[in-house]
Structures are given as C-alpha cells and as structure tokens.
Amino acid sequence: MSSMDLRLDTSGDYYARKFQPTKREDTLILNMGPQHPSTHGVLRILLEIEGEYILRADPVLGYVHRMHEKMGEVMSYPQYYPNPPRTDYLHALAWNWAHVAAVERLMGIEVPERAEYIRVITCELNRITSHLLWWGAYLLDLGAFTPIMYSFDDRERIQDILQRITGSRLTYCYYRFGGVSDDIDDRFVEDTRRHCAVMKERFKMFKSLVTDNFILRKRVEEIGEIPLETCRKYGATGPVLRGSGKAYDVRRAEPYSVYDRFDFNIPAYDTCDAMGRYLVRMDEMQESIKIIEQALDTLPEGDYIHPKAPKRPKPPVGDIYFALEGARGKIGIHLVSDGGKSPYRIKLRAPGYSNLSLFSEVAQGTLISDAVSILGSLDLVIPEIDR
Amino acid sequence: MDEKKAKPEKPAGVVKAAKQEESAEPIYTGYDSDCFIERQDLLNAVQKLDQAGFFLEDVSCMHITEGFHLVYHFDRFDQPGRMGLRVVLDRENPEVDSISEIYPGASWHERECFDFFGVRFTGHPNLIPLLLDPDFEGPPPLLKEESALKDLNHLYPDRGHTGISPESADFTREINNCSNQKSRNKS
C-alpha cells in the first residue's frame, strides 16, 4: 500500500498541456467550464490565476461543433433551411434570413414587399426574445434571481405569437427563398401590437428594478473595458462594438430588406464597459419595438411568397457575401456556387466567434468574478461559436 | 426615404433567370471591391487595409483544383464597404503568412482553416486544433474528392486570377473607393 502513488496527474489534457508552460511556480491553472453555468453551454476557458486574479485566459472551443458548413455542401439548398437557425438558437430567424437572402441575391429571386415586412417584424420580435433571455441569464450570473422570471414571462408571450405563424418556439425556420412559409393574420397583428404596448411599460419596470440598481452597477460599471481599437482588431460587432462607442449596425451601414424605410436609432455608449453593452441591449429592445410598430402601421397587402419562387434553386456560378445584423452582431454568409444544386462552399460568419476571441486580452488582470461578468456581457451562444 | 419606395427594388423578371440555369450574371455580390493578390504580398496588403481602418470579418477557405482559395473579408465602420482579398495557394505547399500579428482576431479564423482544410499559417503563435478534436484522425473534413473539385476558371469566369501588387496605384484606388454607396441600392 505504501508504494501506491497518490499524486494527482496534473498534466491535464491536450489543451491544458499546450497552455501550461509558464515560468512562475506560484500560479494555478484552472479550468472554467465546460460545465460552468456562467459559460451558458459548453465553453471551456483555461485560466492561469494568481489568487483571484487572472493572468492568462484561453478559451477552448468545439464542444458542440456540428460541422454545419460541411452539411451545407452535401445538402441541396432547401434541405439546408433548418441548419443555420440551429447555430444561434436565440436569434434563429436572423440566421434563417441570412441563408435565404444570400441565395436570393445570388439568383436574383424577387421578394414581395409584404414578405419583407413580415420578415422585419418577426426578426425584430425574435431579437427582443434573444435580448430578454440574455438579460435574465446575465443577471442570474450576477446573482439576481428575480429578473429572469420577468424576462421569461415576456419572452414566452412573444414565442406564443411567433409559434402561431411559424410553427416553432425556438429554432424557427420560417423564411423561404422568395418569401415566408405562411402569411400573418389579423390576430398576429393584434397580438403583436398589444404585446408591444405591454413591453413598453415593462421596460420602465426593468429600469427601476434592475438598471438603476446599485448592486448591479457595482458589478458592471468599469468592468471589462474594451477599447474601440480592440474591437476593430478582433472584428467585434453588435452590442459589444456599440458598447464601445461606435454606432455601427448592419441595418444602417449596409441596409438590406426594407430597413431603410423605418425610423430607429442605433444606441451606442462610449463607456466601453459591461454597463455600456448592457445599456445598448436594453435600448435596442425599445428600438426593435419602434420598428415593429412602424412596420405594422405600413404593412402592405400582397403575396407572402413570390408565386414563381423556385422550389429547387440552382444558382448561377459565382460567390456572394451577405451580412445582416443579428442580436449578437454581424452575421455573414459567404456562399460559393458552382452552378449545382448544392453550394460549392458555404461559410458562416458567427458574430460571437469574433466577440469571444477578444476575451483573452480583456480578461488579463481581472478578478475571476469579473470574468463571469465580462463573459455574460458578451452574450455568448456557444452553438453559434462552434457551428 | 420616400423616393426609394417608388422605384422598384429589384430588376423585373429576375425569377426567369433562375429557370435558365447559370446563365444570368449575379446581381448582387456583397463585394464592393475584391482582388486577387499574390501569396507573398498578403502581409503588405493587410497592413495597408489596417492603416485604412478596416476590420477583419472572417477568413473563408475553399478547396479548388489549383489548391486552396482563401478569401479575407474586410469591412469598415466609418465608410462601410466590403473588401475581399483573394489568395490562391498551390496544393503541394498550402502555406501562407499569418496575419494575426496585424489582426489578432485572425488567429481563430486561421486555426479554423487549419482545422478544416489543413492550410498552414507561418508565424501563427498557436496553430493547434480549435473546433475539431485534437485526436481527430483522417483528412481535414472540408477537403473535396478529386472528382468534385472545380477550378478558378469555372468558379470565377470572366475575370483575371493573377494578383495585383499592393504597392500599385490600382490597389490604393480599390481601398479608397471601397464603399457600399453604390451597391446598397441594389440590395
């Protein structure tokens, strides 16, 4: 018995060994995740810590990698409909839209005006559900339990509205080449209007309950400061970029669909901290409601899908890059067609991928508890990052 | 904004184009400027884009008959417009300089290309698997079978595939004129 070696194997796995070499002997290598609740899924971060302070951080990805890009190459265009929405399950319609719009533009498929309006309305509703879930989950990370109950209440109501017309609650697959799969009805319009009015009141309550809360502010203000130049170097977009003071939004910078007809602001805060990113998302929900209300007011009559939209598209040879604004930033699809019935190459640009890549730099020198706050403020959806 | 409503957003009769199959020109490409450059000029070209205030969107790789075709997508915050830098690597030696010194965000995009295609990036600080399992055996998953490969002339007909020099006046003009003012009306 005395000869038994009781020392732990501390060499770790492949990534831990790659991460390990360090000259200091008083530091500790710690695995945060892949089961850590604050990583919202299966993100693993290797940390070298000295006491409570992070000296180095290195995210390890790939735990939910499903190779959507390869699936795109072996499936025909319509078969691939359900895949992009399953990468980012929180803002599924934006990915659905990116895929559909890339093919439409490559082929020159016309989309009826009514369909474009329906897309704007549903996509913005979905953006609100995404931000609401982020809001509840982020506060849960920071130790506040109540807000997620309110956010899920509102989120479920929006999901009920979307479920009636899209048939699903989370991984929507509603847009089709040339339009949407089904028309909206009066009840949808009525429900959406009513809920928009309710939400406006709720935002006031959210502000006084949470945003103005002293404890929250202590956890987010001046935490995780990301200078604008860092955002540019890492290609960060969406609320992360706007929280660093640059009002860059694809809906305005590279207008697609009918967004140029609506009056809305691009909220931006130049505090560069987690609070900036928090406030951007809170404001964005209100801007989305503004867009939805305007779109409902001016909703044109007509087809919801182009009557001659191709069922089995075969785009011409060429490549296309289509980008749009998702809840986490710029979603891009690079589609290369060789004239066949499935893409030669489809590359998905996930905004969270670029946003997370700056974490190593930002986390240096912060407390572990602040790292949780920073991670939450980036609004990560791991399946989107791993694709 | 009201004038925009009046004019038709897309050319009429475009659905027909789909039926004729690969005959019509793509209407919208999403690129406001794109050019082929030689492999050894990459760092120089990216440096120029960095000075011009571009950010890196992604690095997209594809397997072609000649070897590999890398497309670096850049965009700008203040003067939006997409710039595509295209580099062709031969299949015997799929290696190119890493741009992660200039754009640290490129590091993950390059690791992804290494994972999926086996393209190597010289000077990359940490070229290890990112999305794939480090124990994964077999050829990189996005390599195509020989019979499925297409060449540049098939994928990009009607254009030259030789690289332009980043020092040339053409390249400077491409950077300066890169703006989506023209193409945004088409989308």
Residue B130 and residue A204: Cα distance in Å, rounded? 43
Residue A257 and residue B44: Cα distance in Å, rounded? 36
Whether B48 is covered by a domain: the verdict is yes
Describe chain A by its helix, strand, coil percentages, rounded to 5.
50, 15, 40
Count CB atoms within 10 A of the CB of residue A234. Answer: 28
Give tens-digit pLDDT for A64-98.
Answer: 899 999 999 999 999 999 999 999 889 999 999 99
With CA atoms as reference, the chain A residue closest to B99 would be A233
Please tell me the predicted confidence (pLDDT) of residue A157: 92
Q: How many A-B residue pairs are in contact by the CB < 8 A criterion? A: 180
Look at A26-30, A53-57, A372-376 and tell me which has the smallest mean pLDDT.
Answer: A26-30
In chain A the beta strands, taken as DSSP E runs, fall at 28-32, 44-50, 53-60, 175-176, 179-180, 318-326, 329-337, 345-349
Assess A319–B contact: CB distance below 8 Å, yes or no.
yes
Pairwise CB contact (< 8 Å): A14 & B134: yes
Q: Which amino acid is at A35?
A: Q
Stronger pLDDT, A14 or B185, i.e. the higher one: A14
Q: Which amino acid is at A199?
A: M
Assess B165–A contact: CB distance below 8 Å, yes or no.
no
Whether B4 is covered by a domain: the verdict is no
Q: What percent of chain A has pLDDT over 70?
A: 96
Assess B128–A contact: CB distance below 8 Å, yes or no.
yes
Look at A47-51, A164-168, B17-21, B84-88 and tell me which has the smallest mean pLDDT.
Answer: B17-21
Residue A122 and residue A164: Cα distance in Å, rounded? 12
Whether B19 is covered by a domain: the verdict is no
Helix (H, G, I), strand (E, B) or coil at A28: strand
Look at A49-63, A185-199, A208-222, B156-170 and tell me which has the smallest mean pLDDT.
Answer: B156-170
Residue A298 and residue A313: Cα distance in Å, rounded? 31
Whether B36 is covered by a domain: the verdict is yes
Helix (H, G, I), strand (E, B) or coil at A156: helix
Most confident of A244-248, B3-7, B162-166: A244-248
Structural domain of B120: 28-181
Whether B15 is covered by a domain: the verdict is no
Domain limits, chain A: 68-357
Pairwise CB contact (< 8 Å): A233 & B129: no
Assess A234–B contact: CB distance below 8 Å, yes or no.
yes
Instruction: Provide the pLDDT confidence category of residue A11 given band limits of 50, 70 and 90.
Output: confident
Q: Name A104's Cβ contacts closer than 8 Å, sequence gap at least 6.
A: A111, A177, A178
Assess B7–A contact: CB distance below 8 Å, yes or no.
no
What six digits make up the tokens of B178? 């890169």
Give tens-digit pLDDT for A329-361.
Answer: 999 999 999 888 899 999 999 999 999 999 999
Range A68-357 classified under CATH 3.30.110.40: no
B167 to chain A, minimum CA–CA distance in Å?
Answer: 23
Pairwise CB contact (< 8 Å): B116 & A253: no
Task: Name the pairing type of β-strands A53-60 and A179-180.
Answer: unpaired
Whether residue B5 is predicted with pLDDT greater than 60 in this model: the reply is no
- Assign residue B101 the CATH number of its domain: 3.30.460.80
Residues of A in contact with B75 (CB under 8 A): 323, 330
Residue B37 and residue B162: Cα distance in Å, rounded? 7
Section B35-54 average pLDDT: 89
Instruction: Provide the pLDDT confidence category of residue B16 given band limits of 50, 70 and 90.
Output: very low
ipTM of this predicted complex? 0.87
What six digits make up the tokens of A97? 């839209």
Instruction: Provide the pLDDT confidence category of residue B151 given band limits of 50, 70 and 90.
Output: confident
Pairwise CB contact (< 8 Å): B21 & A353: no
Give tens-digit pLDDT for A145-161.
Answer: 889 999 999 999 999 99
Count CB atoms within 10 A of the CB of residue A376. Answer: 25
Whether B23 is covered by a domain: the verdict is no
**How many domains would you assign to chain B?**
1
